[in-house]
């Protein structure tokens, strides 16, 4: 093949970067060879606006089967009554849900971004904070765990139409039943965005939101280890509360409202190659090996968090229930930015992150966020986590010492050679 040399050279460089370093960004993972193959398939050529069996384009017989398989597998993984696998991303899934269930100017209540929430849960710089009127609940100052009493008070005062739970940087499980009670007390809908822990929830390692939350959104590429993408689910379908009707005058089910909010509401043609890759990853998520993997993700995260604490690091909320942790670096006299920069030089990829009640800007921050999903895919176990913590500690205690950082990098590059990635893809 006549490759576009510039781009394929860069792809090779990125592959080398991923292979030689330690990937600790909590929202990243390494997909399987078959997920990669499905993404790079001829399905990208097909337009398929609409839903399986009800398309606006001809020639959809094959992609109909692909999409239906993705839906059926997602339903089986999450015991869901309804799923839409078309959202291009997690943000798109949340945009579609909001278009479907709230009107511009309506109030929404989400988890504070600077305490671990996500941009799409009401941040003023995002559509969710521009079109709707957001308020936020926080973590408790003492425990750094979600303050459900505050969430209840805010809900009673603000009377939002939609309550959102789920986070990007929060290491604890969620009390979905409690939030549902709060939502019911004010007639609000409850949305859980499980983008981060989706894979752990799939295998029962964390509480299940589907029996409690009206709607659940997720990305497919974090702990679930699928391609980049989004998905919307419901544990139970129900008639829409606003009595919207079909052209025949029947009350629309919520599933129909949400399908319409994805297409034509917020998207055009679905990415069938990505949907095929989602289907592959859902199939993988049902395998015994994925349970083993997810269990190891949690074990690794707990071991890593404890090992950091043993070295005098502050882990927000004192530990983790899932794949991630937030390190507050203030007692180490380091900012998140300085730590991230030093670690990147050592080929350890993490991201700087605000910690609850942070006194620094989002560009500097007082913390870093780490996750174990990717290194666990790579095959690392508990004893390796202890080594990772040693290496990170060495880099952070020597941020000005280029020689020491270079030594850490060399050791990591040598170590990672023993854990090859993407054997079938060049």
Least Å distance between CB 304 and ligand PLP? 20
Least Å distance between CB 9 and ligand PLP? 26
Rounded Cα distance between 298 and 285, Å, is 16
| Residue of closest CB approach to ligand PLP | 90
Which CB, 219 or 376, lies closer to ligand PLP? Answer: 219
Catalytic-role residue among 219, 266, 335, 365 = 219
The neighbouring-strand residues paired with 109 are: 135, 163
- Alpha helices per DSSP H over 118-197: 127-131, 148-158, 176-186
Least Å distance between CB 24 and ligand PLP? 15
Which CB, 168 or 316, lies closer to ligand PLP? Answer: 168
Least Å distance between CB 195 and ligand PLP? 4
Which CB, 94 or 303, lies closer to ligand PLP? Answer: 94
Which CB, 183 or 232, lies closer to ligand PLP? Answer: 232
Which CB, 89 or 399, lies closer to ligand PLP? Answer: 89
Which CB, 338 or 371, lies closer to ligand PLP? Answer: 371
Pick the closest to residue 315 from 329, 295, 334, 303 (CA basis): 329
Rounded Cα distance between 281 and 46, Å, is 21
Least Å distance between CB 141 and ligand PLP? 23
Q: Is 193 a catalytic residue?
A: yes
52-81 b/e (C-beta count within 10 Å ≥ 16 → b): beebeeeebeebbebbbbbbebbeebbebe
Catalytic-role residue among 49, 64, 382, 390 = 49
Residue indicated by tokens 């990853």: 281
Contacts with ligand PLP by CB under 6 A lie at 27, 89-91, 94, 118, 120, 166-168, 193, 195-196, 219, 230
Q: Is 222 a catalytic residue?
A: yes
Rounded Cα distance between 337 and 335, Å, is 5
Catalytic-role residue among 23, 147, 193, 340 = 193
Query: Which residues are CB-contacts of 38 (< 8 A; sequence separation ≥ 6)?
Result: 227, 273, 276, 277, 279, 280
Q: Is 47 a catalytic residue?
A: yes
| Phi, psi (deg, nearest 5) at residue 57 | -130, 150
Angle between helices 382-396 and 288-310 (to 10 degrees): 40
Which CB, 228 or 360, lies closer to ligand PLP? Answer: 228
Least Å distance between CB 358 and ligand PLP? 18
Residue indicated by tokens 């966020």: 369
CB-based contact 206:197 (threshold 8 Å): yes
| Phi, psi (deg, nearest 5) at residue 352 | -65, 150
Least Å distance between CB 408 and ligand PLP? 28
| Phi, psi (deg, nearest 5) at residue 202 | -55, -35
Q: Looking at the annotation, which residues are catalytic? A: 47, 49, 193, 219, 222, 228
């Amino acid at each position: 093949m006549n490759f576009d040399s510039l781009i394929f050279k860069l792809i090779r460089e990125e592959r080398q970067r991923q292979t030689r370093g330690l990937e600790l960004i909590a929202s990243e993972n390494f997909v399987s060879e078959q997920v990669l193959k499905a993404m790079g398939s001829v399905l990208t050529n097909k337009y398929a606006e609409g839903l399986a069996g009800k398309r606006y384009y001809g020639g959809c017989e094959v992609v109909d089967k692909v999409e239906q398989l993705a839906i059926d597998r997602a339903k089986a993984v999450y015991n869901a009554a309804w799923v839409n696998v078309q959202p291009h991303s997690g943000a798109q899934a949340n945009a579609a849900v909001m278009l479907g269930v709230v009107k511009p100017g309506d109030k929404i209540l989400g988890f504070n971004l600077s305490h671990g929430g996500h941009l799409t849960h009401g941040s003023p710089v995002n559509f969710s904070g521009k079109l709707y009127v957001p308020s936020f609940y926080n973590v408790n100052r003492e425990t750094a765990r979600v303050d459900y009493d505050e969430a209840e008070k805010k809900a009673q005062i603000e009377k939002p139409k939609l309550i959102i739970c789920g986070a990007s940087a929060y290491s604890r499980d969620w009390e979905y039943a409690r939030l549902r009670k709060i939502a019911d007390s004010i007639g609000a809908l409850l949305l859980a965005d499980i983008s981060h822990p989706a894979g752990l929830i799939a295998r029962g390692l964390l509480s299940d939101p589907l029996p409690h939350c009206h709607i659940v959104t997720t990305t497919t590429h974090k702990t679930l280890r699928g391609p980049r993408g989004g998905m919307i689910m419901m544990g139970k379908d129900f008639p829409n509360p606003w009595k919207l009707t079909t052209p025949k005058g029947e009350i629309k089910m919520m599933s129909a409202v949400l399908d319409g909010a994805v297409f034509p509401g917020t998207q055009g043609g679905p990415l069938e190659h990505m949907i095929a890759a989602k289907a592959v990853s859902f199939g993988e998520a049902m395998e015994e090996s994925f349970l083993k993997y997810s269990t190891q993700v949690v074990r690794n995260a707990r071991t890593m968090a404890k090992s950091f604490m043993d070295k005098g690091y502050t882990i927000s909320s004192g530990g983790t229930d899932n794949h991630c942790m937030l390190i507050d670096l203030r007692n180490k006299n380091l900012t998140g930015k300085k730590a991230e920069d030093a670690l990147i030089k050592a080929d350890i990829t993490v991201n700087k992150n605000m910690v609850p009640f942070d006194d620094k800007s989002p560009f500097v921050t007082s913390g870093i966020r780490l996750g174990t999903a990717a290194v666990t895919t790579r095959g690392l176990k508990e004893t390796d986590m202890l080594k990772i913590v040693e290496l990170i500690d060495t880099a952070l205690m020597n941020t000005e010492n280029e020689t020491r950082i270079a030594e850490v990098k060399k050791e990591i590059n040598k170590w990672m050679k023993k854990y090859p990635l993407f054997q079938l893809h060049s």
